[in-house]
Structure 1
Amino acid sequence: MDHEDSARFAFLHAAPVIGGAALLKLPPLLGALGDGLRGPLLAGSVAAFVAAYLAPRYLARHFEHRALIPFSIYCSVVGLGSLAYFAVT
């Protein structure tokens, strides 16, 4: 699988999980307890939709010319740092 296909697969794989979480959390937020949250909820949903739509396109173009080695090093360092932090605390 090439980089473009793997990025597209990862985003498509996350869509059902995000949709399921939205279905579980939206009714309480839109009910009587969420009176002041409707505007920010709508703005956040629109921003998340735009970002989720544009991110795979950007990553596909990015992966055509660049490799994932710097990102994998970053993930490894942050992951090991997080493990060390949570092991100590």
Structure 2
Amino acid sequence: MRHGAARFAFLLATPAILGAGVLKLPDRAGPMGNGIHGQVLVGSLLSFIGAYVSVRFLIRYFETRTLTPFAIYCVLFGIGSLVYLNT
């Protein structure tokens, strides 16, 4: 069940991330991107590899573990944010 939910979440996010990249592509390929085409290409390739490795790791992680550490992190960060914003 957790494995399927994780796969679904990652598959659901993929088109949104790809769409955001495609929307920015004309800016980077046009005059605003002069001199950085190589860096944009290398950065895009490395971010794709990093995202792929991360998704593979997390799907395997969710097969045997839970989101309890992440839930604890979220609660603590939320409390810390409330304290910081209210001071």
TM over 0.5: yes
Whole-Å separation in 1 of the counterparts to 2:14 and 2:47 = 12
- For 1:35, the aligned partner's letter is N
TM-score, length-scaled by structure 2? 0.81
Give the aligned length.
87
Q: CA RMSD in A?
A: 1.8
2:79 counterpart of 1:80:
yes
Q: Which residue of 2 aligns with 1:14?
A: 13
Q: Give the deviation of 1:83 after TM superposition.
A: 4.3
Secondary structure at 2:35 match in 1: helix
Aligned residues with identical type, % of pairs:
49
Letter in 2 for 1:81: G
Matched, 1:35 2:34: yes
CA-to-aligned-CA distance 1:33-60 (integer Å, 9 cap, x gap): 2112212211111111112222222112
Following superposition, the deviation at residue 7 of structure 1 comes to: 1.5
Task: State the one-letter code of the partner of 1:65.
Answer: T
Provide structure 2 residue ranges, at least 5 long, that are not aligned to the other structure: none
Structure 1 length normalisation: TM-score?
A: 0.80
